[in-house]
Amino acid sequence: MLPEEFADLEPFAGKWSLATERERYSTRMATPIQEMRAFYDAVTPRAEAAMAYIERFPFDELPEDALHLLHLLYSMIEVSFPIEVWHQPRVPDSGATSFDSFTEPRP
Amino acid sequence: MARYPKPPEGSWTEHFGLDTAPVSYADSVSPEYYERERQAIFRRAWLNVGRVEQLPRKGSYFTKELAVVNTSVVVVRGMDGEIRAFHNVCRHRGNKLVWNEAPEEETQGFCRQFTCKYHAWRYGLDGSLTFIQQEGEFFDVDKDQFGLVAVHCEIWAGFIFVNVAREPEQSLRDFLGPMITALECYPFDQMTSRFGYRTEVKANWKLFMDAFAEFYHAPVLHSKQSPDKYSAAAREAGYEAPHYQVDGPHRLVSTSGVRFWEMDPSSLKPMENLTRGGLFGPWDKPDLGELPAGVNPGKCNPWGLDSFQLFPNFVILIWGQGWYLTYHYWPTSYNTHIFEGNVYFTPATNVRERIAQEMSAVTFKEFALQDANTLEATQLMLESGYVERFPLNDQEVLLRHLHKVVADWVNEPAGVPA
């Protein structure tokens, strides 16, 4: 799914290269914190290189593999809250509260 | 010792002529009071239902469910480019005219005319009835008398408002007043990159208005969202806003800015450093040119944000970092409402801008989830009724103002209170 230079992240792409916030948020909710940490630890050191790679293309015409890489970065941001802040998938004390995305920019 | 000067009266609360005694929340736990709000407020006030960018071309439409006034409206850009609103009901037998799959859900799209799903009566985008199936079977139906029923619709700064009163008591512009209309030239129209979120909150609509009208809660409720070093300092300092303002039924709080990019990186989350974005928005702000005088009217420096609460249920929150949010609180009963939050940025032109925006939008959602659940806990215990008086401090001045304005409208159903 990802550009060749990011073969090291390929094992995470199937699960985390997701086009919509709804998919990313629900994957976060359904994933144990240890597994999210493995993804976070793998992707954050590569984020700068990933942005530099995506920058080679016009942003409104990204090739598919670059788009997948971008979606992986969105998931990196999504999991950063459980990893850096909450130490659990869900916002503490948020009970059954949801806040569902119904529109977002593409890409 | 106050960090920011108070008005000559000694407090913002007294400055605005508001009572300083503990308040009652009886207005938030009563089905009867909610019915009075529906009649006296929501059926009389101008209600924001969206923005013009949601109707990009002739024939674009969206529907808006307004349970609080017991209707659904369809908002459409006609062939003449004008935006109009209609009650979403077919004049033949009362079927809901525009919907998809589930009649209670909102929809949007593009069409050249509206056709009822039931008997195929057709209406032009200006609401005129243009076709009756088997017209000859009817008894002298004058098509001119059976067009869609219009809802008063006016636009300000690209925001589309409706008013379901038979005759609104004020024009939209008069209703908004000088504090709000002074925002008119803000480049809302350039900020077309939108993240929208929605949820049902099990609390009275005013409790969520209250939650976002004070920042006294911020260093406490949200403390874990920042590294310990920052949150400890924030909690120690407490919270003071440099500027409050009210104008008629509307109100404003401004906050001071935080220059995150000048802070010690250990006071920031790793993801903030990596994405150059966060709660206050992208660190690298777009060049918006000179902003209108209505923005940051208290001349706060550094300036963080202006949160304008437009009566009754609409908030425009303008961030110093060059983006804005809107909040809508749509009551569905005395103890439930639909909360909608929209985040608007200028469209990203490269990956770094987009990543900073994504971080800002995701951070907004994390904070909102914390805020929303607190409200359900509040509603539950207010409804217990064992405690009746609640002290509010001077940083909660806008809560007093909202509840007072609500009471003024409810108690004076005959005309807009002065």
User: Which residues of chain B lie closer than 8 angstroms to A51, CB-CB?
Assistant: 351-352, 355
Given this model, what pLDDT does residue B305 score?
95
Given this model, what pLDDT does residue B214 score?
85
Given this model, what pLDDT does residue B291 score?
95
Is A58 part of any domain? yes
The Cα B263–Cα B78 span in angstroms is 51
Would the pLDDT of A32 be above 60?
yes
Which residue in the block uniquely carries the two structure tokens 């459980």? A82
Query: Residue B410 carries which DSSP code?
Result: H
Query: What letter represents residue B387's amino acid?
Result: V
Q: Under an 8 A CB cutoff, do A74 and B358 touch?
A: yes
Given this model, what pLDDT does residue B205 score?
98
Mean pLDDT over A18-47 rounds to: 98
Q: Which domains does chain B have, with CATH numbers?
A: 12-40+179-410 (3.90.380.10), 47-167 (2.102.10.10)
Domain count, chain A: 1
The 3-state DSSP class for residue B50 equals strand
Given this model, what pLDDT does residue B212 score?
85
Is A106 part of any domain? no
Average model confidence (pLDDT) across chain A: 96
Which of A87, A91, A98, A101 would you mutate first to test chain B, the one with the most B CBs within 10 A?
A91
Structural domain for A58, as ranges:
13-85
Cα atoms in the Cβ-side hemisphere of radius 13 Å centred on B189: 10
Cβ-count burial of B406 within 10 angstroms (0-12 exposed, 13-18 middle, 19+ buried)? buried
CB atoms within 10 A of CB B114: 21
The 3-state DSSP class for residue B72 equals strand
Residue B83's DSSP bridge partners are: B77
Dig out the tokens for A15 from the structure: 């699960």
Cβ-count burial of B97 within 10 angstroms (0-12 exposed, 13-18 middle, 19+ buried)? buried
Given this model, what pLDDT does residue B63 score?
98
Does B357 touch chain A if contact means CB atoms closer than 8 Å? yes
Dig out the tokens for B245 from the structure: 């303002």
User: Which residues of chain B lie closer than 8 angstroms to A84, CB-CB?
Assistant: 269-271
Given this model, what pLDDT does residue B223 score?
75
The interface pTM score, or ipTM, of the predicted complex is: 0.98
Given this model, what pLDDT does residue B153 score?
98
Low-confidence ranges of chain B (pLDDT < 70): 1-2, 229-230, 233-235, 237, 260-261, 413-418
Q: Under an 8 A CB cutoff, do A51 and B349 touch?
A: no
Helices and strands (DSSP H and E) totals, chain A: 5, 1
Given this model, what pLDDT does residue B414 score?
62
Does B33 touch chain A if contact means CB atoms closer than 8 Å? no
The Cα B244–Cα B307 span in angstroms is 10
Given this model, what pLDDT does residue B217 score?
79
Residues 6+ apart with CB under 8 A from B11: B20, B394, B397
Is A55 part of any domain? yes
* Nearest residue to B3 (alpha-carbon basis) of B398, B246, B401, B300: B300
User: Which residues of chain A lie closer than 8 angstroms to B347, CB-CB?
Assistant: 105
Q: Under an 8 A CB cutoff, do B369 and A99 touch?
A: yes
Per residue in B84-108, pLDDT tens?
999 999 999 999 999 999 999 999 9
Is A105 part of any domain? no
What are residue A57's phi and psi, to 5 degrees?
-115, 155
Which of B358, B364, B375, B376 would you mutate first to test chain A, the one with the most A CBs within 10 A?
B358
